[in-house]
Structure 1
Amino acid sequence: MSFRLQDIETTYLVWTDYLFHRVRTVRNLSEHSAYVTASRLGRYLDQILERRKPILLQSSLRSPPNPKSAIGTGADKQNLEHAFSFGAALLDICRGLDLNALWGPLPVRIHLRTGQTLLEYSMPGRREWPHPLEADSASRKSQERVKAAHHAKHEADRTLKTRYLIVNLRIEAELLVFIAQTGMNLSQAHQLRMDQYSYTSSTDGYQVRSYKQRRNGPVLFEIFSHYREMFEHYLQWRNAVFPNDRDGLLFPLIRRSRHVSTPPTFNKIQAACEKLNLRFIAPQALRKTRVNWLLRRSRDADLTAELDQHTKETLLQVYAEPSLQVAMTEVTRFWHSHDPAIAPPSPGICVGAGPKPLADIPREATTPDCITPAGCLWCEHQRDIDSFDHVWSLCSFRYLKTQEHATVRPKVRLNGVVPPHPAGLAIDRITEKLRFFKNSSEVRLQWVEEGLTRIEEGFFHPDWANRIETYTGA
């Protein structure tokens, strides 16, 4: 096909259709590989043709969604632990680099709550400072004097010329804390400019506005109430370090090679994390952690999307991550609400899965099956509740079994022996339980007496009232 400048767009689109055919029909190319290959070539063509919109958008290829992998039982806990450790280190760096430390002697010693100490020499380059001397140097003493004088001069120059690396370290830390608190994109946060801010109370914190005389400006961002004090301390520090730039960027990183419009790469924070053996968490990962934490705490996707300035669809498709703990909790709540088999049919609670008869269960007693209430009386998983409501339920259940014992007769065996009545065994079992409550304390004795009095008055527990009335025809 033609590769002339006026024909290259058509040629490119036909070629992407060919890739799409391989993905969907021939099936010898993955969707991800096709998209990446076409995207790389498309970027070159966009520059050559000076296009405003990517040429790839005119093709049939689209970026495949990232599949959300399964998350294990400890993944959520590990993610939060790493985020909390990283956040604690950022706070310690911000507090450790106050004005006294910034303009004080070198190296700056930042003490962390973990007991570690971060040394910052404010010297460019990757080598340690003071730099090691050459082992084979003939003029070692002269070299030592030169290096000592150079280092003394560097430390005595207490201006941004020598301290800009330490300044950048705190600004990077403050910027990451700001993103974690507000949920703002890095591309927006690092472009914010200084202003006079006004604070309006909201549900969980403050809405920060640009202060205008006689009126409030639009809401710039929202912060939690505990972050306001830290944010105002940073503003004071920033104005003291940059007294002649009070209308500049809110986070004015000092750069020697990159343009101010380019988002920072957080080289200083990454180097500090490497020294402290911490996992660096990028701004996008911080925002995702914040979103998922809010989503799991609130259980409200609409509220979380509003707080983080997303649509609900973007929140659920891009930011929300599956959680095994949340899924287990939701499944448990669902079955407790919709499946009555989860709750034991008899008075008390069940602490196990499946019926398990006691070792000394009578032969004629009702066998536990998680269906018959009397069967729970001889199940190892049944537990009594230390409350009057449970005692009242036991008294009502025993009354129901007495009615059954009076009306239903067991069949006589061939040898003429009348077997024990299952209802009678249940009555004896419940009586033992009530006797224990009666003899254990004065309070429980009053519970038993009150429960028996209610039964005599025909006031039965709600769990058994309908059954008793149906059985007795009352």
Structure 2
Amino acid sequence: MHKKFQIPELTLPRVKIGINSYSWDMRRLLYIGGAEIRHDLVADAIDRGTLGTVSPERLDLVRKLHAVIAGKLTAGGSQETTKTQLQSIREFFRWADRKNYTLSLPTAQVAYIHWTDALFHCWQVTKTLAQRTAYTKGRVVGQLLDHALGRTTPMIELTRLKEPKRRKAVQTIQSDKQCLESAFAFGRLLQDICDGMTLSAIWGPRPVRIPLQSGGELVQWAGMHSMERGAIPRTPYREQVRLTRMAARQAAYENKRSLRSRATLINLRILAELLMFIGQTGMNVSQASGLEFRHFSYSSDIDSYKVRDYKSRRGGEVLFEIFKEYRSHFERYLEWRRTLFSDDSRLFPLLRYKGAHEESRPYFGLIIQACKDADVAWQPPSVLRSTRVNWLLRRSGDPDLTAEMAQHHKQTLLTVYEIPSLQRAVGEITRFWSIADPMHLQIAPKIAVAPGACDGVPSALPFKPKLAPPPDCIYPSGCLWCEHHRDIDSLDYVWALSCFRHLKVLEVSRYHAPVGVRSADHPGYYAISRISDKLAWFRDSNTTRRAWVEEALARVEEGNYHPEWCRLIESVEGASE
């Protein structure tokens, strides 16, 4: 029999648990096979000594892992994150027990790498795990071991697990419409539940029938058994027994006016209100479900209300923002909630089952079942927040404003939350070409005076040298500093450009500056420099364009000039002779 004083304190006292919940204790990891035991049986197994004795080599490792998890929780980490960490580290220890690996500070890294190989096998070979699931498990345990072992580089980089790339799904016009239609249908269902679950419906007889805007009704049986619903075939005798029992239970149900007896109906309304609140404010589930009930005050904003804690002399800090249309609905819910819960401080006071703590994460099973009954697609809170962010982004067209309203960094908004919209892209392209397309503007495309193309009226570039020729659609040199001049990606254009530069070189070579004027002030020098920059870009861009430049310069050196400039060059060369 082991001695209790040999086991260190490995509980997590900062975790808030319910009446019937079990404390989070890492003592199980000190025993071989302890990770296999059910959570509600492990404490009794340790006290009885059925797990055997503590493995001394695990003591330092488990103690440091406990210190890491407890430290993160004390620093403000969420309980949901702590649950994930405990579950993942338990799976790691369970695998090590099955494979007879020794777990200690010196051997933890080797065991971890072999465990990640098993996760990789489950993903690649047996297909029992998704890539992201395998990577997440490995990352969570790897981060805990990194802190416990004092590593400076992530241990997961030693494994074959790689984070899957976040690829946004290809959006079509139909899928884009269906996304909003599903959100609207889900919103209408939430509205129907909120409208139908009045105080009279809650305290009235069961089943409660909620009319739906889409047609039909949503029936809530409020804990009524399947036999009472008439779902089982019966003999006349059994039917009489059923009716008698149903009448007795119905009378008892109507006479017992307690919140616990109406918990299903009340929770259904509160969950619907919570989801609608998340869709309006953009809060995450933990923030919204943890809000306290207060005497709220409203201050008008541009298209919304800033909701504050009411103060007699001044408004308190802003708690959240809601749209103007939502205020009447929100106040109606507050009145409903105030009538049912007079001594509860929570804004969304869910009635918990089996002693679960009031701050535990809400479970939306009732709403999911209502969606199935109403044939409506279930929209999780994360999807509601994403739909709200993308709706704001499309309405405003301002990523900075949307990121500020959603409390994200702009980069996070664009890389994680933004969903590409095909309809919006088509609209933007259409608006652009309605402005920029010369055919829509009834302006015929022009042939550039210099080598290249032209798509507008003369307009000088901001960096044009003062002495360089201005664009006027008359002199070719002016095109080199025109905003509407366009290079052509072809050998013929590079050849013509090289010949034009050769012509300007001949022109400058014959120039004799007047007394007191520098020869470098000749406009031809700027044209030669500009053309040389263009040729250098073609040369350095890729091998194909480099070959074009080399071929064009070779032709100029051989005297093989472009037909557009051949006569001018030959005339200048003849005059020079």
Task: Give the match for residue 186 of structure 1.
Answer: 285
The 2-side partners of 1:152 and 1:37 are apart by 53
Structure 1 counterpart of 2:382, one-letter code: Q
Q: Does 1:323 align with 2:421?
A: yes
Task: Give the match for residue 321 of structure 2.
Answer: 222
Q: Following superposition of structure 1 onto structure 2, how do residues 392-403 of structure 1 map, counting pairs within 5 Å?
A: none
Distance 1:218 1:56, change over 3 A: farther
Q: Following superposition of structure 1 onto structure 2, how do residues 379-458 of structure 1 map, counting pairs within 5 Å?
A: none
Task: Give the match for residue 177 of structure 1.
Answer: 276
The 1-side partners of 2:393 and 2:234 are apart by 59
CA positional deviation for 1:228: 0.9
CA positional deviation for 1:161: 2.3
Distance 1:41 1:340, change over 3 A: closer
Q: Does 1:249 align with 2:349?
A: no
Task: Give the match for residue 302 of structure 2.
Answer: 203
The 2-side partners of 1:220 and 1:92 are apart by 27
CA positional deviation for 1:18: 8.3
Task: Give the match for residue 173 of structure 2.
Answer: 73
The 1-side partners of 2:385 and 2:150 are apart by 28
Distance 1:337 1:249, change over 3 A: same
Task: Give the match for residue 218 of structure 2.
Answer: 118
The 2-side partners of 1:16 and 1:334 are apart by 54
Structure 2 counterpart of 1:334, one-letter code: F
Q: Give the aligned length.
A: 339
CA positional deviation for 1:85: 1.4
Deviations along 1:129-188, one digit per CA (max 9) or x if unpaired, are 425456369766445423431232123323212211110111011011101100111121
The 2-side partners of 1:48 and 1:153 are apart by 57
Q: Is the 8 A contact 1:121 1:129 kept in 2?
A: no
Q: Is the 8 A contact 1:46 1:54 kept in 2?
A: no
Task: Give the match for residue 280 of structure 1.
Answer: 378
Give the alignment's TM-score, normalised by structure 1.
Answer: 0.63
CA positional deviation for 1:271: 1.2
Give the alignment's TM-score, normalised by structure 2.
Answer: 0.52
Q: Is the 8 A contact 2:142 2:154 kept in 1?
A: no
Task: Give the match for residue 437 of structure 2.
Answer: 339
Q: Does 1:232 align with 2:331?
A: yes
Compare 160-169 and 64-73 and name the one that shifted more.
64-73
CA positional deviation for 1:221: 0.8
Task: Give the match for residue 96 of structure 1.
Answer: 196
Distance 1:18 1:240, change over 3 A: closer
The one of 398, 406, 411 aligned to 1:308: 406
Structure 2 counterpart of 1:317, one-letter code: T
RMSD of aligned residue pairs (Cα, Å): 3.8
3-state SS of 1:135 partner: coil
CA positional deviation for 1:78: 1.1
Unaligned runs of at least 5 residues, structure 2: 1-99, 445-454, 456-577
Deviations along 1:53-90, one digit per CA (max 9) or x if unpaired, are 99995533663332012111211111111111111121
The one of 74, 77, 85 aligned to 2:185: 85
Q: Following superposition of structure 1 onto structure 2, how do residues 11-22 of structure 1 map, counting pairs within 5 Å?
A: 11=110
CA positional deviation for 1:219: 1.4
Percent identity of paired positions between Structure 1 and Structure 2: 39
Deviations along 1:358-408, one digit per CA (max 9) or x if unpaired, are xxxxxxxxxxxxx9xxxxxxxxxxxxxxxxxxxxxxxxxxxxxxxxxxxxx
CA positional deviation for 1:15: 5.7
The one of 154, 161, 164 aligned to 2:263: 164
Q: Following superposition of structure 1 onto structure 2, how do residues 252-267 of structure 1 map, counting pairs within 5 Å?
A: 252-257=349-354, 258-267=356-365
3-state SS of 1:216 partner: coil
Q: Is the 8 A contact 2:218 2:370 kept in 1?
A: yes
